[in-house]
Amino acid sequence: MIQGPEKAQIQNLFTGIAPGYDLANDLITFGMARGWRKKLVTWSGAKPGDKVLDCATGTGDLAFDFKKKVGDAGQVLATDFCQGMLDQAPEKARTLDLDVTFEWADVTQLKYEDHQFDCTSIAYGIRNVEDPVKALKEMARVTKPGGVVMILETGRSQWALMQWGFDFYFKNVVPILGGAVTGDSSAYKYLNKSSKNFPCREEFLALMKQAQSFSKCEYKSLLGGASFLYKGIVQ
């Protein structure tokens, strides 16, 4: 069983960095995370009129990408259990003129009825919950049979030299960049540590299979393993 961090720790961490989170994320990923979120939406197969739940939405970026895809006929509900992050999102939605609903919710204890959504997603959040398998079960529970659960998460490269480069960058550069923008370099040291210790590729697919909620699970590698997209078809 994978045991994630305590809820209070994550809530405090993300509340502290929320005001500068977007800028720091763009700097750290050189803007690539924006493209990876769009790849998730495309691979999900979301279409106009679909109903989407985005968990651990943060400041709402993935939810906004989904809303652009499902259109006015579709619905996007974006949730997070860190109110400080969630507070940043409504103003962004107004600026983008996108109708997205934001609610506080814990992905391991979703308050929604079974089989409500065509797609349920989480980007860079599954490693920050106490029980990732429980979160996957909950995401699948609220998704319609035949619908999809989509995950974007950090990973490790299979190539030693590339992984050395990733390790050096995230250990030595990311805390400086993140700290400069948010004032909290320790938060980015934690995020680096959590990334290194979290399962990826087949190891993460094994977690999805533990949830016993999917008829098929697969993944795609991004930038040689810097991040991964995962897709589960709900049974």
> Residue type for 183, please?
G
Please indicate, yes or no, if residue 122 is contained in any of the structural domains.
Answer: yes
Residue 27's φ and ψ, nearest 5 degrees, are: -65, -45
Decide: 217 and 140 in contact? Cβ < 8 Å. no
Residue 86 lies in a domain: yes
- The residues, ordered by sequence, that sit 6+ positions from 42 with a Cβ below 8 Å of its Cβ are none
Residue 2 inside a domain? The answer is no
Structure-block tokens of residue 2:
């994978």
208 in any annotated domain: yes
Per-residue pLDDT reduced to its tens digit, 121-135: 999 999 999 999 999
The model carries a pTM of 0.94
Distance of CA 69 to the CA centre of its chain: 18
- Residue 1's pLDDT is 66
Instruction: Evaluate whether residue 168 is within a structural domain.
Output: yes
User: Encoding tokens for residue 83?
Assistant: 């109110």
Q: What pLDDT, in 10s, does the model give residues 68-121?
A: 999 999 999 999 999 999 999 999 999 999 999 999 999 999 999 999 999 999
Q: By residue range, what is the domain housing residue 34?
A: 7-234
What confidence score (pLDDT) does residue 43 get? 98
Counted domains in the chain: 1
Going from the C-alpha of 185 to that of each of 30, 75, 161, 191, the distances in angstroms are 18, 36, 26, 10
CATH number at residue 192: 3.40.50.150
Q: pLDDT digits over 203-222, tens only?
A: 999 999 999 999 999 999 99
Q: Label residue 4 by pLDDT band (50, 70, 90).
A: confident
Q: Is residue 136 part of a domain?
A: yes
Please state, in angstroms and rounded to a whole number, the distance separating the CA atoms of residues 50 and 111. Answer: 20
* Token pair belonging to 184: 């909290």
- Answer whether residue 1 is part of any domain: no
Q: How many CB atoms lie within 10 A of CB 223?
A: 15
Any domain includes 61: yes
Tokens of 194: 């959590």
